Amino acid sequence: MKGREELEILISESGEVRVMVKGIKGPSCIKTAENFAGNIGRIKEMTKTSEFYQKEKNGVRLKQSGKRR
């Protein structure tokens, strides 16, 4: 089961929008932020969090047994 993926959106009184991507690891988080930003404006600044540097998990998991046939 996949973990929770979310966008935290903060809008300042001056109208500046900040988006924090949570629960998406690796470069996919940047793609998600860019897709969202494309709908509301342009990206002024981007800061990578520790999740960016974590490996993405594939949807397939292989399990090996110790026996060979």
**H/E run at residue 20:** strand 17-22
**63 Cβ contact partners less than 8 Å away, ≥ 6 residues apart:** none
Residue bearing the bigger pLDDT, 67 or 43: 43
Give 14-64 pLDDT, tens digit per residue.
888 888 888 888 888 888 888 888 787 777 888 888 888 887 765 444 444
Whole-prediction pTM: 0.59
The 10 Å CB-count burial string (b at 16+, else e) for 39-60 is eeeeeeeeeeeeebeeeeeeee
